[in-house]
């Protein structure tokens, strides 16, 4: 019984890692669809998102059921509460990847990303993927060693977002259409939010390891002023 | 003891309602600061946001402590789990209001909102406030009667966001500067996200009343494609 309970808790962590894997695939595919104008790939990301939503749903149901059945305390309780939060963050990251794919689909066959920004968008995606990988390691090993990397990735995403928006604002009038500016503004925000959620994930593990409730402050992490 | 526990549960609901009140004030003030170019008011919204974050933190700590001490089941357990989620949504809504105020501050003394969009932005704010009011009533009375109104408000916010972005895209080249388009794109998204979070709040109460875990799907509610 006790063993079954411990394995249930392990399964919840495995489910979180599976969700992170699904989100990584969605993000990588969405960026490829966006930069290579791959409509079929964009469609695949969009149609796959509900599966991530379902995983979120299942994980939450499991966590609530364990809370009811086992009345966990201390670390186990914190694990379940943190898992509820982490699954929400991962589900949201899946939505963001799907939104990137939606923009790729809507703008096809035109490129949503002007030539001069392709490199920065590719980098934002890369940092997002590194942050997801780092967060997954933190979740898997409850080792905060990678946490600083994830925070640094978030800072880089903030900076890249600012750079792109400054370049757009300071470009000669008529350089970009209003539609291009709208899409780029949304795209850089979607990528930047990935970093916020990755930070939120590692802070929840911090909460788990240290019992420090301050992790909830990570909800406040957000787009810098630009 | 049992009575103390029941009053603890009631306090958590009261705390959620207080948070909703703080968010309503922040949203109303942020919109006024934005449309009237009131720099002092924008500053007030920005500096007040950490108080909402603190309330979120306190509420979560209380909920986790009750989970640990009382090992609630059934409705009480669902109330606590839903409260953890609702406080996150409210905290996030506070951030969105602060982001609106940040744009008001950054663009001052210029108006971030072009004349032709003032009415639609005012309406988006109004719908956001009505949705918060409706969500608060749903939370206070566990009566889903208002839920449909909140969902309708979210649809109106989606529609208003689409209308504004279409008007911007179809305007004659040079009608708006790239900076204006960036700010308007962010503003309509911030207001639109308020509606998503309000829907999320009422769906969590639905989860509470019905025990239907599908409420977690509301995490997926988001900006429509435009």
| Gap from A126 CA to chain B (nearest CA, Å) | 24
Mean pLDDT of B137-152: 93
Q: How confident is the model at residue A216 (pLDDT cuts 50, 70, 90)?
A: very low
Q: Residue B60's closest CA among B36, B42, B33, B86?
A: B86
Q: How confident is the model at residue A1 (pLDDT cuts 50, 70, 90)?
A: low
| Residue that wins the pLDDT comparison between B211 and A42 | A42
Residues with Cβ within 8 Å of residue B63, at least 6 apart in sequence = B12, B80, B83, B84, B87
Q: How confident is the model at residue A147 (pLDDT cuts 50, 70, 90)?
A: very high
Instruction: Say yes or no to pLDDT of A4 above 90.
Output: no
Q: How confident is the model at residue B218 (pLDDT cuts 50, 70, 90)?
A: very low
Instruction: Say yes or no to pLDDT of A221 above 70.
Output: no
Q: Which pLDDT belongs to residue B84?
A: 95
Q: Residue B200's closest CA among B88, B65, B52?
A: B88
C-alpha R_g of chain B: 19
| Residue that wins the pLDDT comparison between A3 and B171 | B171
Helix A74-107 crosses helix A2-36 at what angle (to 10 degrees)? Answer: 20
CATH number assigned to the domain covering A2-210: 1.20.58.220
pLDDT (tens digit per residue) in B176-196: 999 999 999 999 999 999 999
Nearest to A178 among B91, B105, B168 (CB): B168
Verdict on whether the full-model pTM lies above 0.80: yes
Contact A216 B74 (CB under 8 A): no
Asked if residues B194 and B27 have their Cβ atoms less than 8 Å apart, the reply is: yes
Torsion of CA A160, A94, A140, A10, to 10 degrees: 160
Q: Which pLDDT belongs to residue A222?
A: 47
pLDDT (tens digit per residue) in B9-66: 999 999 999 999 999 999 999 999 999 999 999 999 999 999 999 999 999 999 999 9
Lowest mean pLDDT among A212-216, B13-17, B148-152, B187-191: A212-216
B37 three-class SS: coil
Q: How confident is the model at residue B215 (pLDDT cuts 50, 70, 90)?
A: very low
Instruction: Say yes or no to pLDDT of B171 above 60.
Output: yes
pLDDT (tens digit per residue) in B114-126: 999 999 999 999 9
B45 three-class SS: helix
- What percent of chain A is modeled with pLDDT above 70? 93
Q: How confident is the model at residue A5 (pLDDT cuts 50, 70, 90)?
A: confident
Domain ranges in chain A?
2-210
Chain A contact set for B215 (CB, 8 A): none
Contact B174 A178 (CB under 8 A): no
Sign of CA dihedral A13, A19, A25, A27: negative
What does the mean pLDDT of chain B come to?
A: 92
Q: Does A222 touch chain B (CB under 8 A)?
A: yes
Contact B216 A57 (CB under 8 A): yes
Mean pLDDT of B135-162: 95
Q: Which pLDDT belongs to residue A145?
A: 87
Q: Residue B60's closest CA among A222, A214, A209?
A: A214
- Tell me how far apart the alpha carbons of residues B117 and B56 are, in angstroms, rounded to a whole number: 33
pLDDT (tens digit per residue) in A59-112: 999 999 999 999 998 889 999 999 999 999 999 999 999 999 999 999 999 999
Nearest to A178 among B50, B60, B171 (CB): B171
Instruction: Say yes or no to pLDDT of A212 above 60.
Output: yes
Asked if residues B182 and A185 have their Cβ atoms less than 8 Å apart, the reply is: yes
């Amino acid at each position: 019984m006790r063993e079954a309970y411990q394995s249930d808790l392990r399964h919840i962590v495995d489910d979180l890692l599976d969700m992170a894997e699904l989100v990584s695939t969605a993000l990588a595919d969405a960026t490829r669809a966006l930069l290579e104008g791959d409509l079929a790939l964009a469609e695949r990301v969009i149609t796959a998102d509900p599966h991530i939503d379902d995983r979120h749903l299942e994980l939450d149901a499991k966590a609530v059921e364990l809370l009811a059945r086992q009345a966990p305390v201390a670390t186990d309780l914190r694990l379940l509460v943190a898992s509820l939060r982490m699954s929400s963050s991962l589900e949201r990251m899946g939505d963001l990847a799907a939104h990137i794919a939606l923009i790729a689909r809507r703008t096809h066959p035109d490129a949503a990303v002007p030539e001069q920004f392709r490199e920065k968008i590719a980098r934002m995606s890369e940092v997002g993927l590194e942050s997801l990988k780092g967060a997954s390691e933190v979740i898997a090993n409850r080792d905060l060693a990678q946490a600083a990397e994830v925070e640094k990735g978030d800072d880089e995403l903030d900076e890249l977002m600012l750079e792109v928006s400054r370049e757009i604002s300071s470009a000669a009038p008529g350089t970009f259409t209003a539609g291009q500016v709208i899409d780029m503004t949304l795209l850089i925000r979607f990528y930047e939010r990935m970093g916020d959620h990755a930070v939120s994930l590692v802070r929840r593990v911090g909460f788990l390891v240290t019992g420090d409730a301050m992790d909830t402050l990570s909800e406040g992490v957000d787009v810098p002023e630009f």
